[in-house]
Structure 1
Amino acid sequence: MNKLLLIVAATLVSCVTLVTAQAQEVQGDAKAGAKKNAMCIGCHGIIGYQASFPEVHKVPKISGQSAKYIASALNAYKKGDRKHPTMRGIAASLTDQDIADLAAFYSTNGVVEGAAALAAAPAATGKAAELVAKGNCTSCHGASFSAPIDPSYPRIAGQHDDYLFVALKSYKAEGNAQVGRGNAIMGGVAKQFSNAELKELAAYVGSLPSELKTVPESRFR
């Protein structure tokens, strides 16, 4: 009887593992994503558009971001690991396939095949260099801040500095039902810095050459 139970348990584990693996392998379709982005374009499809929560800042550029990072971010909002009422509401309405399709779309949106390689990022100097070294930022985001060591990590070079500042502060937030990001690594990094230092760090990273962009929808041009 015990042997039978072990066999059943092993079979269940195998099934769960197979289902999990299949869920992780959802393939995105950029053309399908282009038809599903109605909830995205009102903020991410307008150059210079500003959000007012949790403070006024430009919404992030997401065109040209890696598909795995976009999917990771949307799933974090969906699970509540990223606390943002609007983004959580949007993400909660998406299926795994929707997320994969939108990620595929935005990772290729505005990307020109055969375009010239991104210019090398100038090395940080002075205070910015000290902050980058203290946070060991390049160990994950790459020397250029555009080539992270894992595609589920974001490209951050040239991202809006006011957005970067808000995002970095959110990793420090605790006990707030509407603001915060649950990432142990980034939480540990961000908590080393004062808000003034995070602002200076964000300004440096935001000034770097970037592959990120906002691509306006035709109706907004």
Structure 2
Amino acid sequence: MKLTLSPMFAAIGLAVGLATSAQAQVTGNVEAGAGKVAMCIGCHGIMDYKTNFPEVYRVPKIAGQNPKYIETVLGEYKKGTRKHPSMRGIAGSLTEQDIADVAAYYTALGDIKGAPELAATPPAAKADVAALLQKGACVSCHGDNFSKPIDPSYPKIAGQYPDYLFAALKAYKDDTHTTWGRGNPVMAGMAKQFSNAELKAISYYIGSLPGEIRTVPQGRFR
């Protein structure tokens, strides 16, 4: 028997298909992104710049980060699953195209021609830290040298500011606050296995490694 859709359902199906197609066609443009980062460079374009909410730590290095991860994070701030008043306000003002352009810009900003390839195996951690990393299965998601994530929506974390990593891991442990915390169930499950002292040890080891992400000083607004 041949099934025939009514005109109404056919129209709905067409609209959904077009919407999905339009979302799939959002591609980041580096040059366009350069004109959309004025709200970003005041923090992410200053070496060792620190925020003081919800505690004092350096804002993360994002130049050279995976573009899909940057898009994912901005989307989470926009939805509120990542909580930070400033970041939510900024992300909420961006369209999907803006987010893709900003992500493309920051990925390209970290590309240094002639930079040496990172070793697949990072310098060995002390035995106690190595045991923590194995318990958390960190490399299973973040990949070789913690810089080759298995999914493009996961971050490169080698060489990230250790105090930022520590603050981020603690945020996954407690998502009960209205203005800070992170709602990722996978990371929450991982972080809740550890004491804060253990999370700090993990953070400072990973932050000490050579990595592909960096802060690129930007001395003027665009």
- Aligned residue for 2:217? 216
**Percent identity for Structure 1 against Structure 2:** 58
- Aligned residue for 2:73? 73
Q: Distance in 2 between matches of 1:157 and 1:215?
A: 16
**CA-to-aligned-CA distance 1:29-53 (integer Å, 9 cap, x gap):** 1111111110001000000100001
- Aligned residue for 1:94? 94
> Is the partner of 2:173 in helix, strand or coil?
coil
Runs of 4+ more than 3 Å apart: 3-11
Deviates more, 1:105-114 or 1:142-151: 105-114
> Is the partner of 1:218 in helix, strand or coil?
coil
**CA-to-aligned-CA distance 1:61-108 (integer Å, 9 cap, x gap):** 000001111011000000001000010000000111110100000001
* Cα separation, partners in 2 of 1:100 and 1:193, compared to 1, 3 Å: same
Q: Distance in 1 between matches of 2:196 and 2:65?
A: 26
Matched, 1:165 2:150: no
TM-fit CA distance, 1:11:
5.2
The runs of 5 or more residues in structure 2 that have no matched partner are none
Q: Distance in 2 between matches of 1:177 and 1:128?
A: 32
The runs of 5 or more residues in structure 1 that have no matched partner are none
Structure 2 counterparts to residues 35-184 of structure 1, below 5 A:
35-120=35-120, 121-184=122-185
Q: Distance in 2 between matches of 1:7 and 1:195?
A: 59
Q: Distance in 1 between matches of 2:25 and 2:173?
A: 32
Q: Distance in 1 between matches of 2:131 and 2:138?
A: 11
Aligned residue pairs, count: 218
Q: Distance in 1 between matches of 2:204 and 2:16?
A: 45
